[in-house]
Amino acid sequence: MSMIYQQAVTQPKKMLNNLKNFLNEAAEVAESKSFERDNFLQIRLAPDQFNLLRQIQTTCDTAKLTAARLAGVEAPSHPDTETTWDELLTRIQSVIDYLDTLEEAQFEDAETRWIELPFMKGKKVAGLDYMIEFGTPNLYFHITSAYAILRSNGVKLGKIPFIGSMNMVDA
Amino acid sequence: MSMIYQQAVTQPKKMLNNLKNFLNEAAEVAESKSFERDNFLQIRLAPDQFNLLRQIQTTCDTAKLTAARLAGVEAPSHPDTETTWDELLTRIQSVIDYLDTLEEAQFEDAETRWIELPFMKGKKVAGLDYMIEFGTPNLYFHITSAYAILRSNGVKLGKIPFIGSMNMVDA
């Protein structure tokens, strides 16, 4: 597997599945304490940071847009209309399903593909730099922020569910 | 520049410099509000998470060990004895300086180098998988956690200081 494909498609898919697991843990906490799981969605770590709902939407967009731009294709639109837990789970799954449609061959020229970003008018960045300097840090920033919101609000999470499965073999 | 060298050496160096910038912002907040900047070091987002001091030590270790293991060399030892702000800044700088000593040629076989981890006895992982599935997520996990502790405690930070400089050119 090419490094770009692994980092822009395979690994984000795993992280999105890990994120679903965080949410499942949180839903169990809500149920065990008899509160609405959707209450988690409005929590934020600081008044000037995104709440959990927006952290998850942004995680989804970062995974989707990084892969699509590197493959040189138009990503499907997600208009950020989610307000409930189930809608967010559907959003996450739709990005996992989208990543599943991308073939490794579409990333053959990704490393040197020039990418223009809507918030950096008049500039361009090579695909490899875009992934390493922006797409990847941004993905982990938002998924870690979502994790931190949940963990600091009583959801039992640790490094193992964050990292998820690893491709290890017997030594 | 090879992708592994960029992601395991160049980019972590930038992130460690970004982390120093977060700390400089925090020190200014402490000074403007007349409290000891070291007070930040004991803050944690949840009682079962690392405090800021340990998040920074772990960020340093992750950057150092990921690069050293991929290069197949022994990393210098840092015994986690820091207790003050200045000692932490020195620790961060020592890892930046260490990364500066690693040459791109040392990473030629990194992608397929078998790596064994002290906490995964009897298992091994190929270098590329180790970096993508463990080293990189772990680095961003701890630096984002440090960022979140500071930002949720009154330090003005945003996405721009987190991402830092990007290698963009005129379109």
Task: Give the per-residue pLDDT at B35.
Answer: 98
Q: What is the DSSP letter of B170?
A: E
Contact call for A168 and B125, based on CB within 8 A: yes
A132, A148, A163: residue with CB nearest B145: A148
The 10s digit of each residue's pLDDT in A108-134 is: 999 999 999 999 999 999 999 999 999
B14, B141, B166: residue with CB nearest A144: B141
Rounded to a whole number, what is the distance in Å from the CA of B145 to chain A's nearest CA? 7
Q: Across residues A9-31, what is the average pLDDT?
A: 98
The 10s digit of each residue's pLDDT in B5-26 is: 999 999 999 999 999 999 999 9
Tell me if B103 is assigned to some domain.
yes
Number of domains in chain A: 1
Structural element, H or E, at residue B26: helix B11-32
Strands B169-170 and B123-126: unpaired
Cα nearest neighbour of A45 on chain B: B152
Rounded Cα gap, residues A100 and A171, in angstroms: 31
Task: Enter the ipTM.
Answer: 0.97
Edge-to-edge, what's the strand order for the sheet holding B123-126?
A169-170, B123-126, B114-115
CATH code for the domain in which residue B11 is found: 1.20.120.450
Tell me if B84 is assigned to some domain.
yes
> Model confidence at B53, in pLDDT bands (50, 70, 90)?
very high
Can you give the residue range of the structural domain that contains A44? 3-163
Count of CB contacts below 8 A, A vs B? Answer: 134
Confidence (pTM) = 0.97
User: Taking CB atoms and an 8 Å cutoff, what residues of chain B touch A128?
Assistant: 3, 6
Cα nearest neighbour of A164 on chain B: B133
B112 touches chain A (CB under 8 A): no
Tell me if B24 is assigned to some domain.
yes
Tell me if B67 is assigned to some domain.
yes
Contact call for B124 and A163, based on CB within 8 A: no
Tell me if B165 is assigned to some domain.
no
Return the ∠ at Cα B116 (arms to B112 and B120), rounded to 5°. 135
Tell me if A12 is assigned to some domain.
yes
Tell me if A168 is assigned to some domain.
no
